[in-house]
Structure 1
Amino acid sequence: MTKAQWVVDASHSEVGFSVRHLMIAKVKGTFHAFDANIVADPADLTSAEISFNIDLSSVDTRNGDRDAHLKSADFFDVEKFPTLGFKATSISQTSEGEYTVTGDVSLHGVTRSESFEVTFEGTSRDPWGNTKAGFSATGAIKRSDYGLTYNAALETGGVMIGDEVKITLEIEALQQA
């Protein structure tokens, strides 16, 4: 196979996150609107070109009040900073089907280099003859690195919201003709 253009099949993909709450539990959420530009040869993913964008206004934590707060100036400030962007700068294979993808994450007006662990799940043809590729990715960022510092101290010690945000992606990509 040679390098080809791939697009995210959003109906078979998910972008999720979790963050510690009250030092004792985790709040999880997803983003419903995202897209990617991928140019890759599944036989050599180390040469892939990847960019990814998330519409932050599509955040969903299953709590409307919390979602509205996340969209506000206390957190994402979606009026000024509507997207989270990622552009890969290097991809290294760590073992069979396993990769470390490093790139620039742009969030809240700040761009920083971050790394994510990616598993290539393989390729398959769907019943209509389309070639699909599957990827799983995990990583974590510190929200304070991006100026997202809203918090409250707890009487029992610690803070209401953890600094580390774990990110998970389950991506099914469709090869373009």
Structure 2
Amino acid sequence: MAKWAIDRSHSSIGFTVKHMMVSKVKGVFDSYTADVEAEDLTDLTSANISFDFDIASINTRSEDRDNHLKSADFFDGEKYPKITFKSTNITKSDDTYKVTGDLTIKDVTKSVTFDTEFNGKGKNPWGVDVYGFEAETKINREEFGLTWNAALETGGVLVGKDIKIQVELELNPA
């Protein structure tokens, strides 16, 4: 299998969560690694895909919130410095895939499926092949031990249960 490298300047790993029952907070992990092995990126069904997201790099554009997320109330980044994902099965339908794998947060591992779209292939100005993908999944954070919350005076809670994880990847031959 061939190895593929992530073009970090054209890729991102982010998340979205409901805030105060009325809006959304978005964030990214500024530091992550990924291993993608596949003979042909136009058919991911035989690929091996894994990611590590560095908790210390969480960025929601609010230093106080980022520090709270890194604390024991949420990710406990000192004890559990990474979130990991490793694919276990990939199925294809037209240009979309179901990439299923093991997601581990705080030593809790659950199977999740990313709905993944192949956005196409091209060549950059230097003649290097470029492949684009986007993927999304939704998890219940409480199932991974992320249970901190605060009740609101008006009813409801400060932080929603459902987290959308979004991955945008541009890959080149390694």
State the TM-score, normalized to the length of structure 1: 0.94
Structure-2 residue corresponding to 1:35? 33
Query: Are the counterparts in 2 of residues 10 and 34 from structure 1 also a CA contact under 8 Å?
Result: no
Q: Which deviates more from structure 2 when the two are superposed, residues 154-163 or residues 106-115?
A: 154-163
Structure-2 residue corresponding to 1:124? 122
Identity of aligned residues (%): 50
What's the CA shift for 1:56? 1.2
What's the CA shift for 1:66? 0.6
Measure, in 2, the Cα distance between the counterparts of 1:55 and 1:163. Answer: 21
Counterpart pick for 2:166 among 154, 162, 168 = 168
Structure-1 residue corresponding to 2:106? 108
Measure, in 2, the Cα distance between the counterparts of 1:124 and 1:15. Answer: 22
State yes or no: 1:56 paired with 2:55: yes
Structure-1 residue corresponding to 2:16? 18
Query: Are the counterparts in 2 of residues 36 and 50 from structure 1 also a CA contact under 8 Å?
Result: yes
Measure, in 1, the Cα distance between the counterparts of 2:96 and 2:43. Answer: 12
Q: Structure 1, unaligned stretches of length 5 or more?
A: none
What's the CA shift for 1:129? 2.2
SS in 1 for 2:87: strand
Query: Are the counterparts in 2 of residues 7 and 35 from structure 1 also a CA contact under 8 Å?
Result: no
Measure, in 2, the Cα distance between the counterparts of 1:17 and 1:160. Answer: 16
Measure, in 1, the Cα distance between the counterparts of 2:60 and 2:3. Answer: 32
Query: Are the counterparts in 2 of residues 21 and 27 from structure 1 also a CA contact under 8 Å?
Result: yes
Output one character per residue of 1:73-95: Cα deviation in whole Å (capped at 9) or x when no partner: 1111110111110000000113x
What's the CA shift for 1:174? 1.5
- How many residue pairs were aligned? 173
Structure-2 residue corresponding to 1:79? 78
Structure-2 residue corresponding to 1:88? 87
Query: Are the counterparts in 1 of residues 101 and 112 from structure 2 also a CA contact under 8 Å?
Result: yes
